[in-house]
Amino acid sequence: MDFSRRAMLGAMGGLAVGGSIAAMSGNVIAAPAAPVMSPGKDGHFMQMHGEFGWKPHKIDDIAAAMDVAYKGYWYKGYGCGYGAFYAIVGTMAEKYGAPYNTFPFTIMEMFKGGFGDWGTICGALAGAGAAFSVFYGRKESKPMVNELFRWYETTAFPIYNPGEAAQGFKGDLPTSVSNSVLCHVSVSRWSYETKIPANSKQRSERCGRITADVAKKAIEILNAKIEAGKDWKGALAKQESVTQCGACHSKGKMSDIVKGNMDCTPCHSGNEHLGNKFVNHP
């Protein structure tokens, strides 16, 4: 937050007066305590404020956070991961200051285009999932990620519409269900079904709007988690294909060759482009 010169001088004056009053009254005002570094094994892996030491806050104005997520997508071209993460942690930073405003937000730019334009995980999901992990360890954040990702796989996007504030394309956009959390699949399926090129302004606008959609769902999950604490559990079950394939191809099964929770069908549907994985499968 920027301060005017007058406001800054006033604040400094208040500190000086407060210090004088304390000195006259015999009270001592201690300097702010230095941030606590949590030592790891053999002195390595030290972390300021301890591991998962930042307190999560509920975000009540979700509509405003969605707008921030959308704008964050377009901000200097930093993309979906930046927008989704900033809508959560950045919203807390703007309201509460430190330690949230000490985060190097631009690190999230790497999630753009499915991580460095490799088309892997959707950057909006990666940014939101990273925000969960700012506050919660794997045991608690994993169910939150599961809920967000399963919702993403089965939802027709985009939903959010910025109206006249649109920065890439104004108006309604067609939707599609990706059945996948991968950027490559999500974008390709939308472009295939809508006949809109993947490198068009409309597709960029689609991803900006999805950033807002993901931020909204992630904040709803975070708010519910804060309210319920360790008792929180997601509502969405594994995809049918994951359960079916996992009967043979998961830990402890007859053919333990699969790791993950993604819907299997986008890559193993048995069509001519992907190979015969379901048809005539043993």
Retrieve residue 189's tokens: 């399926």
Residue 21, pLDDT above cutoff 70: no
* Strand boundaries in 140-280, DSSP class E: 156-157, 176-177
Say what the pLDDT of residue 11 is.
Answer: 38
Of 231, 255, 274, at which residue does a domain stop? 231
**182, 252: one domain:** no
The answer for residues whose C-beta is within 8 angstroms of residue 106's C-beta and 6 or more apart is 78, 82
Above 80 in pLDDT, residue 145?
Answer: yes
Q: Are 80 and 207 in contact (CB under 8 A)?
A: yes
Please give the backbone phi and psi of residue 121, each rounded to the nearest 5 degrees, phi first.
-65, 140
Q: What is the structure's pLDDT at 48?
A: 80
pTM over 0.85: no
pLDDT tens per residue, range 188-234: 999 999 999 999 999 999 999 999 999 999 999 999 999 999 989 98
What residue numbers bound the domain in which 124 lies?
62-231
Let me know if residue 34 belongs to a domain.
no
Tell whether 273 and 169 lie within a shared domain.
no
Flag whether 127 is in a domain. Answer: yes
The residue ranking higher by pLDDT, 28 or 268, is 268
Higher-pLDDT residue of 52, 276: 52
| C-alpha torsion angle, residues 240, 243, 249, 254 (rounded to 10) | -130
Contact yes or no for 184/120 (Cβ under 8 A): yes
Is residue 164 assigned to a domain?
A: yes
Quick: pLDDT tens for 81-95: 999 999 999 999 999
- The pLDDT mean for the chain works out to 85
Residue 35: per-residue pLDDT: 61
Residue 4 is encoded by which pair of tokens?
Answer: 């005017």
**152 and 281 co-located in one domain:** no
pLDDT given at position 7: 40
Q: State whether residue 24 is helix, strand or coil.
A: helix
User: Are 205 and 127 found together in one domain?
Assistant: yes
